[in-house]
Structure 1
Amino acid sequence: MKIDFANLTKAYLENRKAIDRAMSNVVSSSRFIMGEEVQELEKQLQQYTGSKHAITCASGTDALILAMMALDIKPGDEIITSPFTFIASAETIAFLGAIPVFVDIDEATYNIDANQIEGKITKKTKAIMPVSLYGQVANMDTINNLAEKYDLAVIEDAAQSFGATYKGKKSCNLSTIGCTSFFPAKPLGCFGDGGALFTDNKALSDKIKSIRVHGQTQRYIHKYIGIGGRLDTLQAAILIEKLKHYDKDVKRRQIIAKKYDEYLTEYTTIPIIEEHNTSVWAQYSIRVKDRNNVQEKLKEKGIPTAVHYPRPLHLQECFEYLGYKTGDFPIAESVSDEIMSLPMNPYLTAEEINYIAEELKKTL
């Protein structure tokens, strides 16, 4: 048996006619930039998340940059975030000349340990950036309360959690600004790069929209320093069609994760989904000893795996200047050494899940 890790081909073929028609309509109109599909998608994203404002952009990375630019993050400002995440979370902070300040993760959920954040707040702190890892939201109540206490912004990096809920409220609509990614392998993915920002603050929304098009307030009139960060119309059209079926896909992911749990809970460590949360299972990750050997044995059986993420950010060469060292964030370091992601997509069959689980158990 040969397993597909993300099965992007199936994701296309399942709704091929509607997606092809949507793409053809854009090509026929030749409105490739800021076509009507962009505004329609933003309207639908607002409705889906409950946010008052949704602003699409060119990628999840651009979403984070736009959020911080809108919040006037300046060189030397500090932003607190997790060391156990994709590099974009901290990279974008450094890109703007600000300073990533890391806080270790919770060993049960692998999200930032909200109880350790207050100890890292200084006069230079301007924002907290929790990452909703693997599809589950962090402890937003504690984080938002700290932000209110110290007059800080909160940017939810929801690149992996669009559609997840926290105490009944949708991810991306839980903080000052929510940011997500529509990278193809995300639970809701387009056919290239794409992203979006969400906020209830109209002034922030207007500013983000302006910065997204080189700081323009009207054609060739520039109020802000900005970037070229628009989502192209083709990607918007694809996302409109995929969003129609997204709740069904999320449910499928949750069913698959539950089946994995039934097979594997007694054999390995799996991130805990807190009772007040739902996850969209961007990844299904477990902890294993001797990871390289396990991966190689599964590969021989046609089972692909991935590692999200093999080295925490504070130990990456590009962040050496921050002065962190091995041992500073022991939970993040331990998890990085053992974490491994199994195939996760809405199209995995019961037979495939059973096969993956049985072959995995042989290696443990």
Structure 2
Amino acid sequence: MRILLVHRNFPGQFRYLAPALIKAGHKVGVLTWEGNKNPDQLPAARYRHEMQQGKGLGGSFAQYADLGATVARAADVLRGRGTSPDVVFGTISWGETLFLREVWPKARHLGYAEFLYATEGRDTGFDPEFSSPDLNGRIATMARRAHLMMAAMDADGLLCPTRWQASTFPAELHPKITVGHDGVDTARIAPDPAATYQVPGGPLLKAGDEVLTFVNRNLEPYRGYHTLMRALPKVMAARPDLQVVLVGGEEPGYGPAPSDGRSWKQVFLDEVKDRLDLSRLHFTGRVPYEDFLKILQVGRAHAYLSYPFVLGWSMIEAMATGACVVGSRTAPVEEAIEDGVTGHLVDFFDVDGWSDKLTRVLSDPEAQKPIRAAARQHAIDAYDLKTVCLPKLMRFVEGP
């Protein structure tokens, strides 16, 4: 088949799927943003667009509809040059797919649907320290659904990476949703008893050392950075040999930036730094993927927290390395971790609970061996790229 993948930051969620489709004999094209700096996996057509911040309640729809129109015009140029895909598969998050059916009405149109906003039970209002929306705030949240619902309604099929994320969409859409995770290469992402990681300007860490890891794209409240930092003083005082490695950038991330111009990293470090041994606290920033794996492999415990929002790939990757994950008791995390079986769960806001649980896990690594083994086995059984996820993704794209 002729398949067009549309993703502003390609490859994104298509990083494994695109090569697999080519290997299966399909002709695969890519349409992506001109400013996408990710290495090209495939020759790609690029559209030029600068996001303009919309105003008022219709602002987000205007912003994403404008992007969708740009993408449709770029697609129309491709159509004029003879491009005629059988399948168009794109992310719905930024509006890229909104008008592509107008260009290729006979194609099958698929959407990657990560999450639908709501005012209860999800990220909005979950953390009262940062979000206690009044009526105007709730209205603004609901208005952000417009482009997502329009794209989802128009798609012939939708792909959601987890059951909980799929449940955020209305029941009327569930018949067209396939739940399929992007997949984790558990052959490559595996325990390594010989793993080492050289902390820049710090110690050489080895598998078996007392190391606590925390990994996210950005250090931000959406991923519980504030809760972890507030728990660390007690943990580091109780475990004087503990080394803590925190991976992530300093951009605002999914939520708003601090109002005083600092990064969230600095805000919460400043809050607790007088109670920490900073020589044992290591911020790496973002790291190359191989270093990311080494960090997971040397860890004795791995903390993962998330608002009720999209589940980060890194948690499943940590489980695949046999990490002992201590996760937040929130819906996306609970789908992957069974408390006391494949990891440990702690209430997101329970700072003392986090301190106590992390201290206990770090102090008795022998007791965690069954949990580490079960975590890896669950990653293999439910999220393995080659045996579980890619076959499902291929069936989704290729159709009946």
Choose between structure 1 and 2 for higher RCO, CA contacts under 8 A separated by at least 6 residues: 1
TM-score (norm 1): 0.29
